[in-house]
Amino acid sequence: MEQEIDLKKVAVKDDFWSPRQTLISKVVIPYQEDIMNDRIPGIEKSSAITNFRIAAGLEKGSFYGMVFQDSDVAKWLEGVAYSLAIRPDEELEKRADEIISIIARAQQEDGYLDTYFILKEPGKQFTNVQECHELYCAGHMMEAGVAYYETTGKDTLLDVCRKLADCIDRHFGPEEGKLHGYPGHEECELGLLRLYEATGEERYLALAKYFITRRGTQPDFFKQQFEERGGKMFWEGGFQNPDYYQNHAPVTEQTEAKGHAVRCMYLYSAVAELARLTGDKDLTRACETMFRDVTKRQMYITGGIGQVARWEGFSFDYDLPNDTAYAETCAAIGLVFFAHRMLKLSPRGQYADVMERALYNGVLSGMQLDGKRFFYVNPLEVNPDLSGKMPGYEHVLPQRPQWYACACCPPNVTRLVTSLGKYAWDDVRQETSAPGSLPGVIPSADAARRIIYSHLFLGGAADFDDIKISEETEYPWNGEVQYTIAKTPASPWAFAVRIPGWAPGAVFSICGSSEIHLAEIPDAGTSGSGITSFARIDADGMEIQAGRKDGYVYFYGEWKEGATIHISFLIRPRLTYANPKVRADSNCAALEMGPFVYCFEGIDNGQDRGILLQELRIPQDMRYKITDIREGKLQGLKAVDFTGEYLSFSPDDVPGSSPSGTAGSEEEPLYSSVKPSVKKIPMRAIPYFAWGNRGIGQMRVWMPKE
Amino acid sequence: MEQEIDLKKVAVKDDFWSPRQTLISKVVIPYQEDIMNDRIPGIEKSSAITNFRIAAGLEKGSFYGMVFQDSDVAKWLEGVAYSLAIRPDEELEKRADEIISIIARAQQEDGYLDTYFILKEPGKQFTNVQECHELYCAGHMMEAGVAYYETTGKDTLLDVCRKLADCIDRHFGPEEGKLHGYPGHEECELGLLRLYEATGEERYLALAKYFITRRGTQPDFFKQQFEERGGKMFWEGGFQNPDYYQNHAPVTEQTEAKGHAVRCMYLYSAVAELARLTGDKDLTRACETMFRDVTKRQMYITGGIGQVARWEGFSFDYDLPNDTAYAETCAAIGLVFFAHRMLKLSPRGQYADVMERALYNGVLSGMQLDGKRFFYVNPLEVNPDLSGKMPGYEHVLPQRPQWYACACCPPNVTRLVTSLGKYAWDDVRQETSAPGSLPGVIPSADAARRIIYSHLFLGGAADFDDIKISEETEYPWNGEVQYTIAKTPASPWAFAVRIPGWAPGAVFSICGSSEIHLAEIPDAGTSGSGITSFARIDADGMEIQAGRKDGYVYFYGEWKEGATIHISFLIRPRLTYANPKVRADSNCAALEMGPFVYCFEGIDNGQDRGILLQELRIPQDMRYKITDIREGKLQGLKAVDFTGEYLSFSPDDVPGSSPSGTAGSEEEPLYSSVKPSVKKIPMRAIPYFAWGNRGIGQMRVWMPKE
């Protein structure tokens, strides 16, 4: 079985992520703490902590907030746990301990814990699991409890979660007299599986499995409860269609991503986790099918998912409108979770590629560069006359708002970014014959016990007890990555490095050996069989065998301490095309560089002269220049500059290019049999995640391409 | 002053319009009559006739239907009037007379006539003119009354309308004690102006002028009445923003088309009419400004207008989404009305071009080819998985529905198509110095008394008393038009023929004279001054002078009876491009032929093989073939066939092109740095107005263009 990565042992230290982790520790976490404590004037009241205090008998009052208000506290605590691991803070830990003690006091005798029902609807517990988020909140609390235990060693919250899980286990299950239900918003499955891994309690695994496999079967539990409630819905205009909840078919029979995107991702993350823990092949296949539908047919190039605002969820294959995209930050995070679980199930570069795509684009875009404002919705095109204003575009804000009543996204960004180390590495030991745990890449069966995977390129160091590796890189701006093996056992082991799917190639050198090109390393492809052919690298007296499979290069051998593995791939602007089945991207291209999707903002592209982004076009031959941005909000990022084309029906020159030029003469035709005139114009693209940091303007990712 | 065209004297007789007029007379009019009489099972109850019967005391019961239900009857009667002129039908006339007698009996002592208020809210008359359509219904009744009088000579309904207008005149106006209001849905202005022209009663002109000029001034009458009603709205979620009603500024100060499109068109049609009748230059300028904004910045290529479904109206400049277009049939008809009035105000080809564009495309598309089903909404792109289903697309139906509770569009199509002769001709006599009535094109001031305009190319004959002209043409399929002067006075007069803006040129011949090319005829352009330079044509002993201005060629001279004027222009497929400011049409082209916009339907373009329209592209060099469709629903139309391009990420061949080809292999990428492969594929376009007659499928007007 795969080892859970200990966050304290995988230090991230690089110029891109370290400042972001610090920003989150120093700005976002305290800011959210203030909000949960209702200490920020002008922001909608949260009452999240107060609710627990009231439930704990420490204060008088009544519940306030969303039915899932508790989850804010749970997600914050999970983020705090990770933050404490990467950046110890005694004061913060003390405050978190205090909140945990309140939570413990709020917990009921029987283990039940949900302040909404405790305070507002006592006696109605578990009567509307479809809509009321009790199991969702519980799942988040379990994730927080495990995380806090893992990083601080303190078990107060873990014990709360065990009692809570036991309570849920007494109420739900296949046995007669129990509720034959499952969460309306999936999350408890993930919490239970994590609790199982932390505690070894098989009942938690069994309950997660019950939730996952009961879902989508008949009779429809949600419908039963709906009828038992006399046909009342909790939410006005709440969703009754089963596919909103992924409840239209058993998870093994779902072939298309449907309904609420975050729900779907949390569910299938749990399915993948369960598949890994049990070795269930049907569950594995179901995950592969779902992953394929999402990423090959319903994912924005940014890793954003969920095209439809009304249900914050999926549409249908190849329907990827840019200007009405929902692409919730939490859904991209959910995709990171899902891809990460798929990667643990089966180490394939495609999973890491998707994980990285979502992380650097659709997730990061959720947060303003200063960490003070957040997007829920991450469109790929914004037009200020339309976005946030016109019917169907109300949800597409051209600027990040301060905070939301439903504060799901910011703490989700927090917990992901602070725990990033967990996503970067894997330490695989083939102790069992569990399928998928080893790709069969090692030449000597006897020695095929250990593989260290490097999935993402984060500077820092990783400590796997007998193996220690440090990593130096300027990634994502630069494709030079150097690993140094600081500690190694005498026995041979494999070091596996992902080669990003977008990289045009790569060059390797071990301990300064002569360079070996990716193409020289035999590729076993994506087949089920292992690597059978290897390149041999003689380096500093070590004999290393190199083989490729599924997007990873495996270096296998008896390593020496101090050995270096240098990997180098080109990070240069590249144009990407969408499948022609995608209506919205017809005749367009997107610009990418390294893991970043780039975008075009009006502010860089003639907006002040009245030029609209749709009037610009990427030329046939794009000769670019990469520019370091040295000042302003985008300082530290790299822009891509090139000479583009300005298309116009106006007889005038490019607006603003000459003093007499008058743009948009009234008499220019709306339709013409003459093609628009084409003139040269400078164009600039910036990383998508950084859009909307310089005021309101137009933005688009997909640009017309000659 | 310009003569109103007498419909009985302008016979339409050609292969395109005659069958459509017959269809409307024989199918649509009786069908609507049955609906109004609640004789069609399965269609939502209308009660339109019953409401009048109850109000007339002929029946007991209560009002049923929309607050504007009466307008159905009025519009039907107007259509019947025109139909009787072009295709006499004693039985129909008898039934219409009977309905008119019911209406007359329903009219109140004081002339008031609106069955909703008479039956349902007596005493509330004129207390909510913003929302309640009394003046709208009155306007339609006036148009019907005038039309019925003009074509049948019967004045019962005309008298009803005079009494009704007198009643309104007693209630509304600038005088103290009167309501200082104006219609919430414009239409009464048009009715009053028509009534004025038919009766010469100056009070009707004054009242129309009051309605038009009071609108948009302060204090806001709608707001006043809203407050007097205690802040209650008639419609749940009714619109309170003044621009929905074009009430945000005086008509002379409005520079952008805003709000409800039909309202805006009816208003400015009336403004143009008033400008013509009064010679008011400010009103003329206001109309020109509005016409320019609509047609140069907010009009679909089909002549459809009103981009936004929520308010059935305008958006902002260059915002012309194809797949969410509202483009209500009635709004395109309103644009025909507006363009027609502009044409009467000032004979410019651009007005006729717009009129023709809307007529042959955005209006005709409203009706199924068999006359049995109607579209309100005329999208330029339909995707069956989206349209009519997904949020924001609910209004975009992929197939014409049978009938609507709000039955505004079908009778509007009826009254336009049956009165088409009125739009084809003008007989201008310079009896006054009213501006705009004569373009100053005639060389001899003395003789500059008479111009016959041919605006549209309809086969048939026109009788202007001392001048009679017959016209033979296969237009719109063929650009050969022959006029024969069957009767002429001895004095010289001018015959003016519009040269469509889209025509690449034209060739003329008078009485078989040698051909003269358009380019050989001196063009006075669009300036205010008249034609000063002429080409001379010697034909059969006549000396005809030819000059051009504003899209018309003027042939002036002393005509002989039997003289022929032959005009010939090329009707061939052409590609049209949208202004690059239009986001939705980036890198696309539309195919047009003659007055028709063409479209691509899935059924003709590989839909059965799983090919999507967005996967197709019009190639750089399009070599087309025009195909007569000889069978099926589209029989009689011409298709355009060419070899297009199929773009794909799939390694397979074009789907269906070889037995082993499997389309849409699961593994094709969603994004790729490799451009899609391009393969040849046959493509077919059909006239846009005929889309959606062969089942549900994809459709688009704008196609990706290489």
Assembly ipTM:
0.95
Structure tokens at A44: 């909608």
Residues A565-582, mean pLDDT to the nearest whole number? 97
Residue of B581, B605, B648 best to disrupt the A interface, most CBs of A under 10 A:
B581
CA distance B128 to chain A (A): 27
CB B408 within 8 A of CB B362: no
| Predicted pLDDT at B437 | 35
E strand or H helix at A96? helix A90-106
Structure tokens at A460: 């820092």
Side chain identity at A648, as an amino acid letter? S
Residue A225 has pLDDT above 80, yes or no: yes
CB A579 within 8 A of CB B670: yes
Calculate the alpha carbon distances from B605 to B323, B486, B614 in Å: 19, 48, 11
Task: State the burial class of residue B366 (Cβ atoms within 10 Å of its Cβ: 0-12, 13-18, 19+).
Answer: buried
Residue A483 confidence class, pLDDT cut points 50, 70, 90: very high
pTM: 0.94
CA distance A547 to chain B (A): 24
pLDDT tens track for A49-103:
999 999 999 999 999 999 999 999 999 999 999 999 999 999 999 999 999 999 9
The active-site residue out of A273, A312, A356, A381 is A312
- The stretches in chain B having pLDDT less than 50 are 1, 432-439, 441, 443-447, 661-665
Minimal Cβ distance to A587: which of B579, B586, B648 = B586
Calculate the alpha carbon distances from B179 to B137, B171, B246 in Å: 18, 6, 19
Instruction: Please name the residues in contact with B534: beta carbons below 8 A apart, sequence gap of 6 or more.
Output: B443, B521, B522, B545, B546, B547, B556
Tell me whether residues A297 and B670 touch, CB distance under 8 A.
yes
Residue A432 confidence class, pLDDT cut points 50, 70, 90: very low
| Predicted pLDDT at A431 | 56
Tell me whether residues A670 and B297 touch, CB distance under 8 A.
yes
Instruction: Please name the residues in contact with A180: beta carbons below 8 A apart, sequence gap of 6 or more.
Output: A172, A173, A174, A214, A221
The separation between CA A171 and the C-alpha centre of its own chain, rounded to angstroms, equals: 32
Residue A660 has pLDDT above 90, yes or no: no
| Predicted pLDDT at B446 | 43
Mean pLDDT of chain A: 93
DSSP B189: H
Cα(B343)–Cα(B423) distance, integer angstroms: 10
Of the two residues B329 and A433, the one the predictor is more confident about is B329
CA distance B676 to chain A (A): 7
Residue A650 confidence class, pLDDT cut points 50, 70, 90: confident
The active-site residue out of A264, A287, A330, A408 is A408
CB B423 within 8 A of CB B453: no
Minimal Cβ distance to A672: which of B316, B318, B577 = B577
Residues A292-301, mean pLDDT to the nearest whole number? 97
| Predicted pLDDT at A685 | 98
| Predicted pLDDT at A659 | 55
E strand or H helix at A261? helix A261-278
Of the two residues B45 and A202, the one the predictor is more confident about is A202
Tell me whether residues A299 and B577 touch, CB distance under 8 A.
no
Please give the torsion angle defined by the CA atoms of residues B20, B21, B23 and B27, in that order, rounded to the nearest 10 degrees. 140
Cα(B129)–Cα(B145) distance, integer angstroms: 22
User: Given 3-state DSSP classes, what are the helix, strand and coil percentages for chain B, each rounded to the nearest 5?
Assistant: 35, 20, 45
Minimal Cβ distance to B675: which of A502, A577, A647 = A577
B583 → chain A, closest CA residue: A614
Catalytic residues of B, by residue number, are 312, 408
Tell me whether residues A576 and B673 touch, CB distance under 8 A.
yes
- Bridge partners, residue A681, by sequence: A644
| Predicted pLDDT at B282 | 98
From chain B, pick out residues whose CB is under 8 angstroms from the CB of A309. 391
Tell me whether residues A295 and B391 touch, CB distance under 8 A.
no
pLDDT tens track for B76-127:
999 999 999 999 999 999 999 999 999 999 999 999 999 999 999 999 999 9
Residue pairs spanning A and B at CB distance below 8 A:
143
Cα(B261)–Cα(B283) distance, integer angstroms: 19
pLDDT tens track for B315-366:
999 999 999 999 999 999 999 999 999 999 999 999 999 999 999 999 999 9
| Predicted pLDDT at A527 | 72
User: Among candidates B170, B140, B173, which has minimal Cα distance to B157?
Assistant: B140
The SS3 call for residue A12 is strand
Tell me whether residues B586 and A588 touch, CB distance under 8 A.
yes
CA distance A587 to chain B (A): 6
Lowest mean pLDDT among A397-406, A539-548, B229-238, B595-604: A397-406
Tell me whether residues B673 and A316 touch, CB distance under 8 A.
no
Separate counts of helices (H) and strands (E) for chain B: 17, 24
How many Å is the maximal CA-CA distance in chain A?
84
| Predicted pLDDT at B447 | 45
Residues A496-507, mean pLDDT to the nearest whole number? 95
Give the number of other Cβ atoms within 10 Å of residue B144's Cβ: 30
